[in-house]
Structure 1
Amino acid sequence: MFVNMSSVVLKALFSSQTRVKLLSTFLLHPEQEYFIRELTRLLGEQINSIRRELENLRRIGLVKARHKNRKKYYKIDADFPLYADLRNIFAKEIQAESPVVANLKKLANVDLVLLAGMFTGTESKVDLLIVGTVKKEILEALLLQDASLKNVKYSIFSEADFLYRLSLKDRFILEILNDPRNLIVFNSMQKQIDEAKGKR
Protein backbone atom coordinates (compact mmCIF):
# COMPACT_ATOMS: atom_id res chain seq x y z
CA MET A 1 0.00 0.00 0.00
CA PHE A 2 2.81 2.41 0.90
CA VAL A 3 4.62 1.61 -2.37
CA ASN A 4 1.54 2.46 -4.40
CA MET A 5 1.05 5.71 -2.49
CA SER A 6 4.70 6.63 -3.01
CA SER A 7 4.47 5.97 -6.74
CA VAL A 8 1.47 8.26 -7.10
CA VAL A 9 3.13 10.98 -5.03
CA LEU A 10 6.41 10.86 -6.97
CA LYS A 11 4.59 11.15 -10.29
CA ALA A 12 2.79 14.20 -8.95
CA LEU A 13 5.96 15.79 -7.59
CA PHE A 14 8.17 15.94 -10.68
CA SER A 15 5.70 16.77 -13.44
CA SER A 16 6.41 20.52 -13.78
CA GLN A 17 9.38 22.88 -13.69
CA THR A 18 7.65 25.25 -11.28
CA ARG A 19 6.98 22.38 -8.90
CA VAL A 20 10.62 21.30 -8.99
CA LYS A 21 11.71 24.86 -8.16
CA LEU A 22 9.29 24.95 -5.25
CA LEU A 23 10.48 21.57 -4.02
CA SER A 24 14.09 22.70 -4.14
CA THR A 25 13.25 25.86 -2.20
CA PHE A 26 11.23 24.12 0.51
CA LEU A 27 13.38 20.99 0.88
CA LEU A 28 16.70 22.83 1.04
CA HIS A 29 15.37 25.50 3.42
CA PRO A 30 13.07 23.50 5.71
CA GLU A 31 13.07 26.13 8.48
CA GLN A 32 11.79 28.89 6.21
CA GLU A 33 8.23 30.02 5.52
CA TYR A 34 7.30 31.75 2.27
CA PHE A 35 4.28 33.65 1.01
CA ILE A 36 3.16 33.47 -2.61
CA ARG A 37 4.47 36.80 -3.92
CA GLU A 38 7.81 36.16 -2.23
CA LEU A 39 8.11 32.84 -4.06
CA THR A 40 7.12 34.52 -7.32
CA ARG A 41 10.02 36.96 -6.99
CA LEU A 42 12.54 34.36 -5.83
CA LEU A 43 11.75 31.75 -8.48
CA GLY A 44 10.84 33.98 -11.43
CA GLU A 45 7.55 32.19 -12.07
CA GLN A 46 4.02 33.48 -12.68
CA ILE A 47 1.88 33.91 -9.58
CA ASN A 48 -0.91 31.68 -10.91
CA SER A 49 1.58 28.89 -11.58
CA ILE A 50 3.06 29.24 -8.08
CA ARG A 51 -0.40 29.25 -6.50
CA ARG A 52 -1.50 26.18 -8.45
CA GLU A 53 1.61 24.15 -7.62
CA LEU A 54 1.50 25.14 -3.95
CA GLU A 55 -2.03 23.81 -3.77
CA ASN A 56 -0.89 20.56 -5.41
CA LEU A 57 1.90 20.16 -2.83
CA ARG A 58 -0.43 21.07 0.02
CA ARG A 59 -3.03 18.57 -1.18
CA ILE A 60 -0.58 15.64 -1.07
CA GLY A 61 0.64 16.75 2.36
CA LEU A 62 4.21 17.82 1.56
CA VAL A 63 3.59 21.51 2.26
CA LYS A 64 1.52 23.04 5.04
CA ALA A 65 0.07 26.54 5.21
CA ARG A 66 -0.81 29.03 7.92
CA HIS A 67 -2.09 32.61 8.05
CA LYS A 68 0.05 35.31 9.66
CA ASN A 69 -0.27 39.10 9.41
CA ARG A 70 -2.93 38.78 6.70
CA LYS A 71 -0.65 36.65 4.55
CA LYS A 72 -0.71 32.93 3.86
CA TYR A 73 2.66 31.32 4.54
CA TYR A 74 3.82 27.95 3.23
CA LYS A 75 6.42 25.63 4.73
CA ILE A 76 7.63 22.08 4.17
CA ASP A 77 6.01 19.48 6.42
CA ALA A 78 8.93 17.49 7.85
CA ASP A 79 6.48 14.78 8.96
CA PHE A 80 5.65 13.91 5.34
CA PRO A 81 6.51 10.19 4.81
CA LEU A 82 8.95 10.85 1.94
CA TYR A 83 10.45 14.06 3.33
CA ALA A 84 13.89 12.64 4.19
CA ASP A 85 14.18 10.79 0.88
CA LEU A 86 13.18 13.82 -1.17
CA ARG A 87 15.56 16.10 0.69
CA ASN A 88 18.40 13.65 0.08
CA ILE A 89 17.63 13.59 -3.64
CA PHE A 90 17.98 17.36 -3.92
CA ALA A 91 20.89 17.63 -1.49
CA LYS A 92 22.98 14.98 -3.20
CA GLU A 93 22.57 16.73 -6.53
CA ILE A 94 24.58 19.65 -5.19
CA GLN A 95 27.20 17.72 -3.26
CA ALA A 96 25.72 18.28 0.18
CA GLU A 97 26.97 14.86 1.24
CA SER A 98 30.57 15.28 0.08
CA PRO A 99 33.29 14.32 2.62
CA VAL A 100 34.53 17.91 2.79
CA VAL A 101 31.09 19.27 3.65
CA ALA A 102 30.59 16.50 6.20
CA ASN A 103 33.87 17.50 7.86
CA LEU A 104 32.87 21.17 7.86
CA LYS A 105 29.70 20.34 9.77
CA LYS A 106 31.76 18.47 12.37
CA LEU A 107 34.09 21.38 13.14
CA ALA A 108 33.82 22.80 16.64
CA ASN A 109 32.12 26.18 17.03
CA VAL A 110 30.43 26.14 13.61
CA ASP A 111 26.94 27.66 13.67
CA LEU A 112 26.03 27.72 9.98
CA VAL A 113 27.35 26.24 6.73
CA LEU A 114 25.88 27.46 3.43
CA LEU A 115 26.76 26.22 -0.06
CA ALA A 116 26.44 28.38 -3.17
CA GLY A 117 28.25 29.07 -6.44
CA MET A 118 30.29 26.09 -7.60
CA PHE A 119 28.46 23.76 -5.20
CA THR A 120 25.04 24.62 -6.61
CA GLY A 121 25.97 25.43 -10.20
CA THR A 122 24.97 29.09 -9.88
CA GLU A 123 26.64 32.50 -10.10
CA SER A 124 27.54 33.77 -6.64
CA LYS A 125 30.05 36.04 -4.93
CA VAL A 126 31.06 33.13 -2.70
CA ASP A 127 30.83 29.36 -2.93
CA LEU A 128 30.92 28.71 0.80
CA LEU A 129 29.76 30.78 3.76
CA ILE A 130 30.55 29.76 7.32
CA VAL A 131 29.39 31.36 10.55
CA GLY A 132 31.46 30.49 13.60
CA THR A 133 34.95 30.70 15.04
CA VAL A 134 36.76 28.74 12.34
CA LYS A 135 40.40 29.44 11.58
CA LYS A 136 41.20 30.18 7.95
CA GLU A 137 44.08 27.70 7.99
CA ILE A 138 41.85 24.84 9.16
CA LEU A 139 39.21 25.57 6.53
CA GLU A 140 41.77 25.74 3.73
CA ALA A 141 43.32 22.46 4.87
CA LEU A 142 39.90 20.80 4.65
CA LEU A 143 39.25 22.20 1.19
CA LEU A 144 42.62 20.98 -0.06
CA GLN A 145 41.51 17.42 0.66
CA ASP A 146 39.52 17.64 -2.57
CA ALA A 147 41.46 18.94 -5.58
CA SER A 148 38.27 20.20 -7.21
CA LEU A 149 37.73 22.60 -4.29
CA LYS A 150 41.10 24.36 -4.34
CA ASN A 151 39.58 27.49 -5.92
CA VAL A 152 36.56 27.74 -3.63
CA LYS A 153 35.63 31.31 -2.71
CA TYR A 154 34.64 31.43 0.94
CA SER A 155 33.64 33.86 3.67
CA ILE A 156 33.86 33.31 7.42
CA PHE A 157 31.87 35.41 9.87
CA SER A 158 31.68 35.33 13.63
CA GLU A 159 28.15 34.82 14.91
CA ALA A 160 28.03 38.36 16.32
CA ASP A 161 29.24 39.97 13.07
CA PHE A 162 26.89 37.90 10.93
CA LEU A 163 23.83 38.74 13.04
CA TYR A 164 24.80 42.41 13.24
CA ARG A 165 25.11 42.64 9.45
CA LEU A 166 21.83 40.80 9.06
CA SER A 167 20.06 43.20 11.43
CA LEU A 168 21.32 46.08 9.27
CA LYS A 169 19.96 44.30 6.18
CA ASP A 170 23.44 43.92 4.71
CA ARG A 171 22.90 43.28 1.00
CA PHE A 172 25.52 40.54 0.66
CA ILE A 173 24.22 38.59 3.66
CA LEU A 174 20.57 38.89 2.63
CA GLU A 175 21.22 37.89 -0.97
CA ILE A 176 23.15 34.75 -0.15
CA LEU A 177 20.88 33.76 2.74
CA ASN A 178 17.62 34.27 0.85
CA ASP A 179 18.63 32.82 -2.52
CA PRO A 180 16.52 29.63 -2.81
CA ARG A 181 19.18 28.00 -4.99
CA ASN A 182 21.70 28.02 -2.13
CA LEU A 183 21.81 25.20 0.39
CA ILE A 184 22.12 25.53 4.14
CA VAL A 185 23.57 22.17 5.17
CA PHE A 186 24.02 23.03 8.84
CA ASN A 187 22.24 25.63 10.94
CA SER A 188 22.13 25.87 14.73
CA MET A 189 21.16 29.55 14.84
CA GLN A 190 17.79 29.83 13.12
CA LYS A 191 16.20 31.50 16.15
CA GLN A 192 18.92 34.16 16.23
CA ILE A 193 18.59 34.67 12.46
CA ASP A 194 14.84 35.20 12.76
CA GLU A 195 15.35 37.69 15.58
CA ALA A 196 17.98 39.61 13.59
CA LYS A 197 15.57 39.75 10.65
CA GLY A 198 12.91 41.14 12.95
CA LYS A 199 10.65 38.07 12.75
CA ARG A 200 8.50 37.14 15.71
Structure 2
Amino acid sequence: MVHQGRVVYLDPVREITCVMYPERVHIVPDMSTLSTEDILSTTLFGKTRRAVLSLLFTHPDESFYLRQIKRVAGSGMGSVQRELKALTEAGIIRGTTRGNLTYYQANPDCPVYAELKGLIVKTAGIGDILRAALAPLSERLQAAFIHGSFARGREHKGSDVDLCVIGSVQFAEVVSAVNTAQQSLGREINPTVYPPEEFHARVATKDHFVSALMKGPKIFLVGDVHELARLAQ
Protein backbone atom coordinates (compact mmCIF):
# COMPACT_ATOMS: atom_id res chain seq x y z
CA MET A 1 0.00 0.00 0.00
CA VAL A 2 1.40 3.41 -0.97
CA HIS A 3 0.68 6.18 1.52
CA GLN A 4 2.23 9.67 1.51
CA GLY A 5 5.37 8.55 -0.28
CA ARG A 6 5.68 5.39 1.79
CA VAL A 7 5.03 1.76 0.91
CA VAL A 8 3.38 -0.07 3.82
CA TYR A 9 3.39 -3.87 3.76
CA LEU A 10 3.51 -7.00 5.94
CA ASP A 11 6.90 -8.67 6.20
CA PRO A 12 5.98 -12.42 6.29
CA VAL A 13 9.41 -13.46 7.55
CA ARG A 14 9.60 -11.21 10.60
CA GLU A 15 5.78 -11.07 10.91
CA ILE A 16 5.72 -7.31 11.34
CA THR A 17 4.28 -4.41 9.41
CA CYS A 18 7.02 -2.43 7.66
CA VAL A 19 7.28 0.96 6.02
CA MET A 20 9.50 1.40 2.97
CA TYR A 21 10.70 4.82 1.83
CA PRO A 22 11.68 4.23 -1.82
CA GLU A 23 13.94 7.26 -2.06
CA ARG A 24 15.93 6.10 0.98
CA VAL A 25 16.17 2.47 -0.19
CA HIS A 26 15.76 0.92 3.24
CA ILE A 27 13.02 -0.61 5.35
CA VAL A 28 12.00 0.17 8.93
CA PRO A 29 9.34 -1.53 11.08
CA ASP A 30 6.08 0.32 11.68
CA MET A 31 6.34 0.42 15.48
CA SER A 32 2.72 1.49 15.89
CA THR A 33 1.66 -2.14 15.27
CA LEU A 34 3.85 -3.63 18.01
CA SER A 35 3.76 -3.94 21.80
CA THR A 36 6.55 -2.38 23.87
CA GLU A 37 8.22 -5.77 24.26
CA ASP A 38 7.93 -6.47 20.53
CA ILE A 39 9.37 -3.04 19.65
CA LEU A 40 12.47 -3.71 21.75
CA SER A 41 12.82 -7.29 20.60
CA THR A 42 12.25 -6.48 16.92
CA THR A 43 14.72 -3.60 17.07
CA LEU A 44 17.41 -5.74 18.68
CA PHE A 45 16.77 -9.11 17.05
CA GLY A 46 15.17 -10.48 13.89
CA LYS A 47 12.37 -13.04 14.19
CA THR A 48 14.56 -16.13 13.94
CA ARG A 49 17.30 -14.85 16.24
CA ARG A 50 14.69 -13.75 18.76
CA ALA A 51 13.15 -17.24 18.78
CA VAL A 52 16.54 -19.00 19.07
CA LEU A 53 17.72 -16.78 21.91
CA SER A 54 14.38 -17.02 23.73
CA LEU A 55 14.58 -20.82 23.63
CA LEU A 56 18.20 -21.16 24.73
CA PHE A 57 18.25 -18.41 27.36
CA THR A 58 14.99 -19.46 29.02
CA HIS A 59 16.40 -23.02 29.25
CA PRO A 60 20.03 -22.20 30.14
CA ASP A 61 20.74 -25.64 31.61
CA GLU A 62 19.41 -27.55 28.60
CA SER A 63 20.69 -28.10 25.07
CA PHE A 64 18.78 -28.58 21.82
CA TYR A 65 19.69 -29.92 18.41
CA LEU A 66 18.96 -28.23 15.09
CA ARG A 67 15.57 -29.74 14.27
CA GLN A 68 14.25 -29.04 17.77
CA ILE A 69 15.33 -25.42 17.47
CA LYS A 70 13.86 -25.14 13.96
CA ARG A 71 10.50 -26.48 15.15
CA VAL A 72 10.34 -23.95 17.98
CA ALA A 73 11.59 -21.04 15.85
CA GLY A 74 9.11 -21.75 13.07
CA SER A 75 11.68 -20.63 10.50
CA GLY A 76 13.44 -22.29 7.58
CA MET A 77 16.35 -24.64 8.17
CA GLY A 78 18.83 -22.35 6.42
CA SER A 79 17.77 -19.33 8.45
CA VAL A 80 18.13 -21.21 11.74
CA GLN A 81 21.52 -22.62 10.72
CA ARG A 82 22.81 -19.13 9.89
CA GLU A 83 21.70 -17.78 13.26
CA LEU A 84 23.24 -20.68 15.16
CA LYS A 85 26.51 -20.24 13.29
CA ALA A 86 26.62 -16.48 13.93
CA LEU A 87 25.69 -16.79 17.61
CA THR A 88 28.23 -19.58 18.14
CA GLU A 89 31.00 -17.60 16.46
CA ALA A 90 30.13 -14.61 18.67
CA GLY A 91 30.43 -16.79 21.78
CA ILE A 92 26.83 -16.13 22.81
CA ILE A 93 25.88 -19.79 22.52
CA ARG A 94 27.97 -22.94 22.27
CA GLY A 95 27.61 -26.20 20.39
CA THR A 96 28.57 -29.68 21.55
CA THR A 97 28.65 -32.65 19.18
CA ARG A 98 27.26 -35.93 20.49
CA GLY A 99 27.10 -38.70 17.95
CA ASN A 100 25.75 -37.29 14.69
CA LEU A 101 24.06 -34.30 16.31
CA THR A 102 25.28 -30.92 17.49
CA TYR A 103 23.49 -29.64 20.59
CA TYR A 104 23.30 -25.91 21.28
CA GLN A 105 22.84 -24.06 24.55
CA ALA A 106 23.38 -20.60 26.03
CA ASN A 107 27.04 -19.99 26.84
CA PRO A 108 27.39 -19.02 30.53
CA ASP A 109 31.00 -17.99 29.87
CA CYS A 110 29.89 -15.21 27.52
CA PRO A 111 31.02 -11.88 29.09
CA VAL A 112 27.50 -10.44 28.80
CA TYR A 113 25.61 -13.65 29.64
CA ALA A 114 23.71 -12.30 32.66
CA GLU A 115 22.81 -9.02 30.97
CA LEU A 116 21.71 -10.74 27.76
CA LYS A 117 19.63 -13.30 29.61
CA GLY A 118 17.86 -10.55 31.55
CA LEU A 119 17.21 -8.58 28.37
CA ILE A 120 15.79 -11.57 26.53
CA VAL A 121 13.48 -12.54 29.38
CA LYS A 122 12.23 -8.95 29.64
CA THR A 123 11.67 -8.38 25.92
CA ALA A 124 10.41 -11.79 24.83
CA GLY A 125 6.69 -11.82 24.14
CA ILE A 126 4.28 -14.25 25.76
CA GLY A 127 4.34 -16.39 22.62
CA ASP A 128 8.14 -16.59 22.68
CA ILE A 129 8.23 -17.54 26.35
CA LEU A 130 5.55 -20.23 26.09
CA ARG A 131 6.98 -21.59 22.84
CA ALA A 132 10.33 -21.97 24.56
CA ALA A 133 8.71 -23.50 27.65
CA LEU A 134 7.05 -26.20 25.55
CA ALA A 135 10.20 -26.95 23.53
CA PRO A 136 11.24 -30.02 25.58
CA LEU A 137 7.86 -31.57 24.73
CA SER A 138 7.67 -30.36 21.13
CA GLU A 139 8.40 -33.71 19.47
CA ARG A 140 5.30 -35.17 21.15
CA LEU A 141 3.06 -32.23 20.31
CA GLN A 142 0.95 -31.88 17.18
CA ALA A 143 -0.34 -28.40 18.01
CA ALA A 144 -0.31 -25.85 20.81
CA PHE A 145 -1.81 -22.39 20.83
CA ILE A 146 -2.91 -19.49 23.01
CA HIS A 147 -6.63 -18.70 22.87
CA GLY A 148 -9.05 -16.54 24.81
CA SER A 149 -8.47 -12.90 25.75
CA PHE A 150 -4.79 -12.82 24.76
CA ALA A 151 -5.50 -14.20 21.31
CA ARG A 152 -8.30 -11.66 20.91
CA GLY A 153 -6.04 -8.83 22.05
CA ARG A 154 -8.40 -8.01 24.93
CA GLU A 155 -6.29 -9.08 27.89
CA HIS A 156 -6.04 -6.92 31.01
CA LYS A 157 -3.71 -6.82 33.99
CA GLY A 158 -5.31 -9.79 35.73
CA SER A 159 -5.92 -11.94 32.65
CA ASP A 160 -4.90 -15.58 32.71
CA VAL A 161 -3.21 -17.11 29.67
CA ASP A 162 -5.42 -19.80 28.12
CA LEU A 163 -3.36 -22.52 26.47
CA CYS A 164 -4.51 -25.50 24.41
CA VAL A 165 -2.11 -28.39 23.82
CA ILE A 166 -2.77 -31.35 21.52
CA GLY A 167 -0.32 -34.23 21.67
CA SER A 168 0.92 -37.38 23.35
CA VAL A 169 1.67 -35.71 26.68
CA GLN A 170 0.17 -35.75 30.15
CA PHE A 171 -1.49 -32.76 31.77
CA ALA A 172 1.09 -32.82 34.58
CA GLU A 173 3.94 -32.63 32.05
CA VAL A 174 2.49 -29.51 30.49
CA VAL A 175 1.88 -27.88 33.87
CA SER A 176 5.48 -28.60 34.86
CA ALA A 177 6.82 -27.30 31.53
CA VAL A 178 5.02 -23.95 31.76
CA ASN A 179 5.67 -23.38 35.47
CA THR A 180 8.79 -21.25 34.90
CA ALA A 181 7.01 -19.32 32.15
CA GLN A 182 4.16 -18.63 34.54
CA GLN A 183 6.60 -17.10 37.02
CA SER A 184 8.36 -15.06 34.31
CA LEU A 185 5.07 -13.69 32.98
CA GLY A 186 3.53 -13.09 36.38
CA ARG A 187 0.28 -14.56 35.04
CA GLU A 188 -1.54 -17.82 35.66
CA ILE A 189 -1.40 -20.20 32.71
CA ASN A 190 -4.46 -22.40 32.22
CA PRO A 191 -3.62 -25.36 29.98
CA THR A 192 -6.13 -27.70 28.37
CA VAL A 193 -4.52 -30.90 27.09
CA TYR A 194 -6.00 -33.32 24.55
CA PRO A 195 -4.57 -36.51 23.06
CA PRO A 196 -5.01 -36.26 19.25
CA GLU A 197 -7.71 -38.96 19.24
CA GLU A 198 -9.77 -37.19 21.90
CA PHE A 199 -9.47 -33.85 20.13
CA HIS A 200 -10.68 -35.44 16.87
CA ALA A 201 -13.60 -37.09 18.68
CA ARG A 202 -14.64 -33.82 20.34
CA VAL A 203 -14.61 -32.05 16.98
CA ALA A 204 -16.73 -34.83 15.48
CA THR A 205 -19.31 -34.61 18.29
CA LYS A 206 -19.35 -30.80 18.06
CA ASP A 207 -18.16 -30.37 21.65
CA HIS A 208 -19.05 -26.79 22.61
CA PHE A 209 -15.64 -25.84 24.01
CA VAL A 210 -13.66 -27.38 21.15
CA SER A 211 -15.99 -25.83 18.57
CA ALA A 212 -15.33 -22.42 20.14
CA LEU A 213 -11.59 -23.12 20.02
CA MET A 214 -11.74 -23.96 16.32
CA LYS A 215 -13.65 -20.78 15.49
CA GLY A 216 -11.82 -18.36 17.79
CA PRO A 217 -8.53 -16.50 17.23
CA LYS A 218 -5.32 -18.30 18.11
CA ILE A 219 -1.62 -17.62 18.61
CA PHE A 220 0.14 -20.79 17.48
CA LEU A 221 3.13 -22.01 19.47
CA VAL A 222 3.46 -25.42 17.83
CA GLY A 223 1.97 -26.31 14.46
CA ASP A 224 -0.34 -24.02 12.52
CA VAL A 225 -3.91 -23.69 11.26
CA HIS A 226 -3.31 -26.39 8.64
CA GLU A 227 -2.06 -28.89 11.22
CA LEU A 228 -5.06 -28.12 13.43
CA ALA A 229 -7.42 -28.69 10.51
CA ARG A 230 -5.71 -32.01 9.81
CA LEU A 231 -6.17 -33.09 13.44
CA ALA A 232 -9.85 -32.16 13.26
CA GLN A 233 -10.53 -34.31 10.18
What TM-score, normalized by structure 2, do the two folds share?
Answer: 0.41
What TM-score, normalized by structure 1, do the two folds share?
Answer: 0.47
* Greater strand proportion: 2
